[in-house]
Structures are given as structure tokens and as C-alpha cells.
């Protein structure tokens, strides 16, 4: 099941962060708290039966930025990353986004393939974005052109309808 994250998920999200990323690449707790509390930001978690995945991003004007996506080691290659992406895409569409942008390390095969399989295309490269000579690929999903409301998240929802629920804001969270 995918649902909007709440502040009480912060501990589980930090555990995912520590499992998935090297210390130098990890986000801090205040960074995640910001994602959870800022009004134009949104975080979704997957529950199987505990939190085993998270995605977050924000929207400014009609451009949504996907900031992070992580699935626990034990749950990878089960379609959860794609479901989280669909949840974020659905929210972005509903919030008025015309496109979703993201940066991904060019050597991150799993994430790059996930985004490509969803329809993201490469639109740029940021040299040494992550330091140590690791470049970022800038990727984009143009919602209006390649993913009208009849496709994109709805297309993915058809694939994972039984697990794709609870996408309205949690009590106390503001829709933007």
C-alpha cells in the first residue's frame, strides 16, 4: 500500500536512508522533516507491512521536482519503486504540474532504469554534481505531452491497483 507519509514515519524513513545511502550521500533528519512539513512538498511511503519505501518531492509553479526515492533492500525488484513513482506523479498532476524534473547519478543503473521505464527522458547533464567525479543526469517527464491524464499515473495505477491507495493528504497535511 502507498500512502502519504506522516511525521511519525520519520524514524522509519531515516532507517531506509541509512540502509540505502553511504554516509556522505545521506539526508539528515532535519532535511526529511522539511520534506514532511513544508506545504509545497509531499512524501509518500510504501507499507509492506512496515515502511519499506519512500518518495518525496516538491512543486513550484507548474514544475514538480522529484527529490528522493528509496526502497528497502529486502523489497527491491517487486514494483514498489514504480508504485511510489506513480503516487508522486499522480500528486504532481493533481497539483497542476506540467512536468516532473529530477537528477540522478549517471552511474545509478537501478534508478536510471526505473525512471526510463516510466517514460522519463534525459534532458541534460550536470558534471560532478555529486562530487568525486560523479555526474548527474537531468531527466524529465513531460506530463502534458507524454503523459496526459489518461496515462502516466493512471496507466501505472492499472498495473498496481490493488496496492495503490490512500493518496489523498493525511489529516493535518495541506494540499497545494
Ligand X SMILES: CC(C)(COP(=O)(O)OP(=O)(O)OC[C@H]1O[C@@H](n2cnc3c(N)ncnc32)[C@H](O)[C@@H]1OP(=O)(O)O)[C@@H](O)C(=O)NCCC(=O)NCCS
Report, in Å, the least distance between residue 76 CB and ligand X: 3
Instruction: Give yes or no for a contact between 169 and 4, defined as CB atoms under 8 angstroms apart.
Output: yes
Residue found by looking up cell 513531460 in the block: 142
Convert residues 35-74 into a mask of x (bound to ligand X by CB under 6 A) and - (unbound): ---------------------------------xxxx---
Per CB under 6 A, contacts with ligand X among 128-147 are: none
The size of the interface with ligand X (CB under 6 A), counted in residues, is 20
**Contact between 82 and ligand X per CB under 6 A:** yes
Which of 41, 79, 154, 155 is the binder for ligand X (CB under 6 A)? Answer: 79
Closest-CA residue to 65 (of 106, 101, 115): 101
| Distance in Å, CB of 154 to ligand X, minimum | 17
Binding of ligand X at residue 20 (CB under 6 A)?
A: yes
In sequence order, which ranges of the chain are alpha helices (DSSP H)? Answer: 10-20, 29-37, 80-94, 109-118, 143-146, 152-159
Q: How would you label 25-37 residue by residue, b for 16+ Cβ within 10 Å and e otherwise? A: eebeeeebeebbe
Binding site for ligand X (CB under 6 A): 20, 68-71, 76-82, 104, 108-111, 113-114, 117
Amino acid at each position: 500500500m502507498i500512502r502519504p507519509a506522516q511525521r511519525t514515519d520519520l524514524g522509519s524513513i531515516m532507517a531506509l536512508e541509512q540502509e540505502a545511502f553511504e554516509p556522505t550521500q545521506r539526508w539528515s533528519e532535519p532535511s526529511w522533516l522539511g520534506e514532511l512539513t513544508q506545504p509545497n512538498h509531499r512524501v509518500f511511503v510504501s507499507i509492506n507491512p512496515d515502511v519499506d519505501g519512500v518518495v518525496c518531492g516538491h512543486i513550484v509553479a507548474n514544475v514538480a521536482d522529484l527529490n528522493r526515492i528509496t526502497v528497502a533492500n529486502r523489497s527491491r525488484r517487486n514494483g514498489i519503486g514504480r508504485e511510489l513513482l506513480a503516487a508522486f506523479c499522480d500528486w504532481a498532476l493533481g497539483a497542476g504540474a506540467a512536468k516532473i524534473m529530477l537528477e540522478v547519478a549517471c552511474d545509478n543503473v537501478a534508478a536510471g532504469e526505473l525512471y526510463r521505464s516510466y517514460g522519463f527522458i534525459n534532458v541534460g547533464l550536470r558534471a560532478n554534481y555529486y562530487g568525486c567525479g560523479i555526474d548527474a543526469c537531468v531527466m524529465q517527464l513531460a506530463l502534458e505531452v507524454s503523459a496526459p491524464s489518461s496515462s502516466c499515473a493512471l496507466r501505472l495505477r492499472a498495473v498496481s491497483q490493488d496496492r495503490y491507495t490512500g493518496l489523498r493528504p493525511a489529516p493535518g497535511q495541506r494540499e497545494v
